Amino acid sequence: MKGIILAGGTATRLFPLTATTSKQLLPVYDRQMIFYPLNVLAKAGIKEILIIVAPEHSGQFINLLGSIFEGAGIHLEFRVQKIPRGLADAFILGETFIGKDDVAMALGDNIFEDDLSAKIKKFEKGGLVFAKKVTDPERFGVVEFNAHDQAISIEEKPKKPKSDFAVTGFYVYDNQVVEIAKSLKPSVRGEIEITDINKRYMRMGELKVEKIKGAWLDAGTYDSLLEASLIVKKKEIYKNFDPAIDKAIIDFNLELKTIAKKRLN
């Protein structure tokens, strides 16, 4: 299975913080936000990862991640998304990278307390998404469940949500997703929607929706960015990282400090 992290966009809700850097490079407690989705993928055994970035911030991502995982068994590639066309566009941009493999995509600003790795490793075919009960479902893709806890409908940002379960920013699909994404027509927002991919898999009877109980953080506003750092510290999410990622961060920090000291001498 290949992995994709979507880290493009302009993040206007976080201006002026994102006027000079990408949202996914902002700190969440003791490390940049991008390391959290990287950790989800690495813990699931996914070591080939494509990071989709905006052109104005591509150099910053390469400066941070270009060589940080050398020797750690994690291979990163980068692709520039010149114009954001919706989440589903990631599978079109990543078609060559994905090849004939299945793929897991993480949004670069989503942080999970739950360990999703076991469910990702058990994935066989179709689609797999994760849902979390929220207080403001109208902001998200909303899943409706029947009496047997089976998902029966998904709507994107509905004015009258049929449930309070939102689809979170982590998606797992088999290789069909590339052709499905290419067949989609833009929504009224002018984007090709990830919800339409989920609907297609649901119509085929191949979409599985897993409910999660732990914290799910969508760090896209000042308040949610602050809350993310506080929860990561309180619940010690930062301690639950794949050892390869933790070691890479520590070694990178030491390298930067050594370079800084040499410049001062």
Its domain, for residue 21, covers 2-125+169-185+214-264
Which CATH number do you get for residue 39?
A: 3.90.550.10
Residue 98, helix vs strand vs coil:
helix
Return the pLDDT at 194.
96
Return the pLDDT at 113.
97
106-124 per-position pLDDT tens digit = 999 999 999 999 999 999 9
Q: Are strands 2-7 and 48-53 parallel, antiparallel or unpaired?
A: parallel
The phi, psi pair for 21, rounded to 5°, reads: -155, 165
142 occurs within a structural domain:
no
87 occurs within a structural domain:
yes
Return the pLDDT at 9.
80
The phi, psi pair for 196, rounded to 5°, reads: -70, -30
157 occurs within a structural domain:
no
200 occurs within a structural domain:
no
52 occurs within a structural domain:
yes
Is this model's pTM higher than 0.85 or not?
yes
CA-CA distance, 233 to 237, in Å (whole number)? 7
Q: Which residues contact 186 (CB under 8 A, 6 or more apart)?
A: 85, 86, 192
Q: What separation in angstroms does the CA of 59 have from each of 11, 162, 206?
A: 18, 43, 39
227 occurs within a structural domain:
yes
CA-CA distance, 106 to 5, in Å (whole number)? 5
Q: What DSSP letter does each residue of 141-178 carry, written as one string? A: EEEEE-TTS-EEEEEES-SS-SSSEEEEEEEEE-THHH
161 occurs within a structural domain:
no
148 occurs within a structural domain:
no
Which parts of the chain register pLDDT below 50? none
Return the pLDDT at 263.
83
How many domains does the chain fold into?
Answer: 1
